[in-house]
């Protein structure tokens, strides 16, 4: 067995009761994501578990508070769900709060996600402990984890700002969901400027303590984001209507496909309910699901494709 490539074998015990081998690899420099080679203070080594983003994917780092607000959660879920079907990978740190929300929203939207834990990659030391089961889900759904620390390295307070430079370095853009006046997210956002990465921020209510970071950076020139299309613009990805050409996404549920197909022309909710021949509860649920994915929206009393 090649000791350079296969450095650690771990076993994943899933809730379904089966076990499979999962390897932790040390990457050669030639295998590193190219953008990481551009940053100062390069890591000495990189360890990978799972899959890196597909070639051609744009990477969006999503950062914010561990004490995430309901508003922050809703904004994070809405923006990431609206990227479904696009060549985007979501990067975050596997921490509680915004990080976990970003990873989960990515999986729900069928997007690749890449986690940078502040520790090694062995199951026994992943931090936070409460996310170890979720880390397995990321891997099982085609995502990955990456670290500059050897597999059995426990988390340490200094590792979190260190890993943040890698999250920013690998990304094409950084999205700040929320950050208080003393949040570590402020340091991560400043790195985006130092590394010449686009910085994106969502707006908050005046006086909201979680608005300090986003509003500060918007004043300093960061892009204000309120819709998924704003993220696509920053990443240089054409909006869905320019690329889909009227083809329905392949992962729509039956009722969602019925509704989406009906909306070649805008229709009111009553027209949709009357013509869909599906019960009202399922129809309304499908409308909400399609809207959350950024596929349709309601304007002037009528639903239309985006």
pTM value is 0.74
pLDDT of residue 244: 46
Provide the CATH number for the domain around residue 162: 3.40.50.450
Judgement on whether residues 252 and 132 belong to the same structural domain of the protein = no
173 pLDDT above the threshold of 50: yes
φ, ψ for residue 119, nearest 5 deg: -165, -175
Judgement on whether residues 64 and 210 belong to the same structural domain of the protein = yes
Select from 69, 61, 63, 79 the least CA-distant residue to 226.
79
The number of distinct structural domains making up the chain is 2
Contact present, 89 and 119 (Cβ < 8 Å): no
* SS3 at position 224: strand
Task: Look at residue 279 and tell me if it is in a domain.
Answer: yes
Judgement on whether residues 259 and 220 belong to the same structural domain of the protein = no
What confidence category does residue 246 fall into, taking pLDDT thresholds of 50, 70 and 90? Answer: low
What rounded mean pLDDT belongs to the chain?
87
Judgement on whether residues 77 and 189 belong to the same structural domain of the protein = yes
What confidence category does residue 291 fall into, taking pLDDT thresholds of 50, 70 and 90? Answer: confident
Task: Look at residue 289 and tell me if it is in a domain.
Answer: yes
Judgement on whether residues 103 and 204 belong to the same structural domain of the protein = yes
Judgement on whether residues 190 and 269 belong to the same structural domain of the protein = no
DSSP 225-273: -SSHHHHHHHHT---HHHHSTTPPPTT--HHHHHHHHHTTS-B-HHHHH
Provide the CATH number for the domain around residue 270: 1.10.10.10
Least confident of 1-15, 58-72, 258-272: 1-15
Q: How far is CA 261 from CA 13, 151, 203, 248, in A?
A: 42, 49, 34, 8
Most trustworthy range by pLDDT among 147-161, 172-186, 263-277, 292-306: 147-161
Mean pLDDT of 209-228: 93
Tokens of 213: 């970071």
Summarised one tens digit per residue, pLDDT across range 100-146 is 999 999 999 999 999 999 999 999 999 999 999 999 999 999 999 99
Contact present, 155 and 127 (Cβ < 8 Å): yes
Name the residue range of residue 300's domain. 244-305
Judgement on whether residues 173 and 265 belong to the same structural domain of the protein = no
Distance CA 166, CA 261 (A): 42
Q: Tell me if the bond preceding 128 is cis, omega within 30° of 0.
A: yes
Judgement on whether residues 160 and 277 belong to the same structural domain of the protein = no
Q: Give the domain-ending residue among 205, 235, 265.
A: 235
Using the structure block, give the residue that is written with the tokens 């929206």.
297
Task: Look at residue 1 and tell me if it is in a domain.
Answer: no
Judgement on whether residues 231 and 254 belong to the same structural domain of the protein = no
Mean pLDDT of 32-51: 93
pLDDT of residue 187: 87
């Amino acid at each position: 067995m090649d000791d350079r490539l296969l450095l650690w074998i771990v076993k994943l015990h899933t809730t379904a009761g089966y076990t499979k081998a999962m390897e932790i690899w040390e990457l050669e420099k030639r295998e590193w994501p190219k953008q990481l080679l551009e940053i100062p203070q390069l890591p000495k080594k990189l360890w990978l578990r799972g899959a890196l983003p597909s070639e051609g994917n744009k990477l969006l780092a999503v950062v914010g508070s561990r004490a995430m607000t309901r508003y922050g959660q809703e904004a994070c879920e809405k923006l990431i769900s609206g990227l479904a079907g696009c060549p985007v990978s979501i990067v975050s740190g596997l921490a509680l709060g915004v990080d976990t929300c970003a990873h989960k929203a990515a999986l729900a939207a069928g997007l690749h996600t890449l986690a940078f834990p502040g520790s090694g990659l062995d199951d026994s030391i992943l931090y936070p402990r409460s996310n170890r089961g979720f880390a397995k889900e990321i891997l099982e759904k085609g995502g990955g984890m990456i670290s500059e620390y050897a597999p059995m390295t426990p988390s340490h307070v200094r590792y979190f700002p260190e890993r943040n430079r890698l999250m920013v370095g690998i990304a094409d853009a950084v999205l700040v969901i929320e950050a208080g006046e003393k949040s570590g997210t402020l340091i991560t956002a400043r790195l985006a400027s130092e590394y010449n990465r686009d910085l994106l921020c969502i707006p908050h209510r005046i006086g909201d303590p979680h608005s300090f970071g986003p509003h500060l950076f918007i004043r300093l020139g960061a892009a204000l984001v309120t819709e998924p299309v704003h993220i696509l613009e920053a990443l240089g990805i054409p909006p869905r209507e320019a690329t889909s050409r009227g083809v329905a996404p392949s992962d729509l549920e039956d009722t969602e496909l019925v509704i989406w197909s009906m909306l070649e022309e805008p229709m009111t909710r009553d027209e949709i309910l009357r013509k869909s021949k599906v019960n009202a509860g399922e129809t309304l649920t499908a409308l909400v699901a399609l809207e959350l994915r950024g596929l349709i929206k309601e304007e002037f009393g009528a639903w239309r494709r985006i």
